Amino acid sequence: PMQVFNGRLSYATVTQSYQVEVTHREFAIGVQIQRKMWDDDLSGEIKMIFSDIGRVASILRQENAIQPFDNAFVLDSEFYTHEDALALCSNSHTTPVAGVDTSTGYDNLSTAKFSATALTADCYTFRKFKDYNGEPLDERPDCIVVPPELEAEAQVVVKTNFGLDTAGRDHNVHGGMFEVVSPVKLSSVNNWFVVNKGLMKQNQLWIDRKPFETNKMRVFDTYAYRGSGYQRFSYFRKGWWWILGHNAD
């Protein structure tokens, strides 16, 4: 903690955080079209195959971008290894700082199904999350990530201003407080997450080691046209406190 200044600085001890080793993976695809098919393509369908390389690359990125959520309850080693060797959402998070009590404030795993009651409990739990030094972060979630099957229910919870679940016209404390995101590629129809977007951008990182590129050429001896796409990327996490996950399957 910050000390009273008496004319001379007191220097804090800096503890190294957990080490993360990231491996960027390569992805590529190629197509080849015969010369006569290219010449006889009156509708443009054959030439569209080359432009579809970009669409395929975009789909791949979306599939990988959702993996931190799909793998939230297991050890994710797709692109990186984290020294704590725990799932993103776990009730056993630790700290590299010696002497810090981790019995409270280090659990971001729940099994509750989606409801307004569960969301209320999440907001309290989120504020109690602690950093590696054992200090409460006092942050609130501002985004709910749900599968499409739960999107309508989530929208009702966050957009109903009065009378949610009762006829008493009581004020809904969640009204207008959350953005609802429903990625179609989430594999579970029951698992859901609350997220602080600012903390997510600081702790869940995507690296475009080599942004998507395309190449096209004509083969000399066959007159065929060839096209290819290439990209190299990875993702990894630092801290876990940007998310609270519900393994409700």
CB 32 within 8 A of CB 224: yes
Helices (H), the chain: 35-39, 45-65, 67-70, 116-127, 148-159, 197-203
Alpha carbons within 13 A on the beta-carbon side of 36:
0
Q: Among residues 214, 212, 213, 219, which one has the least CA distance to residue 32?
A: 219
Residues 59-79 have a mean pLDDT of 96
- pLDDT exceeds cutoff 90 at 2: no
Which pLDDT score is estimated for 35? 87
Return d(Cα 248, Cα 70) in angstroms, integer. Answer: 13
Which pLDDT score is estimated for 165? 65
- What DSSP element (H or E) covers 143? strand 143-145
Which pLDDT score is estimated for 186? 95
Q: Would you tell me how many other CB atoms lie within 10 Å of the CB of residue 186?
A: 21
Alpha carbons within 13 A on the beta-carbon side of 77:
6
Return d(Cα 42, Cα 105) in angstroms, integer. Answer: 64
Residues 123-143 have a mean pLDDT of 95
The predicted model scores a pTM of 0.87
Q: Would you tell me how many other CB atoms lie within 10 Å of the CB of residue 56?
A: 13
- pLDDT exceeds cutoff 70 at 169: no
Q: Which residues pair with 180 in a beta bridge?
A: 144
Q: Among residues 212, 209, 208, 182, which one has the least CA distance to residue 195?
A: 182
- pLDDT exceeds cutoff 90 at 76: yes
Return d(Cα 64, Cα 153) in angstroms, integer. Answer: 26
Computed over every residue of the chain, the mean pLDDT equals 92
Which pLDDT score is estimated for 131? 94
- pLDDT exceeds cutoff 90 at 42: no
CB neighbour list of residue 151: distance below 8 Å, 6 or more residues apart: 180, 182
Which pLDDT score is estimated for 70? 97
Name all contacts of 81-85 with Cβ < 8 Å and 24+ positions apart. Answer: 81/20, 81/21, 82/18, 82/20, 82/236, 82/237, 83/18, 83/19, 83/20, 84/18
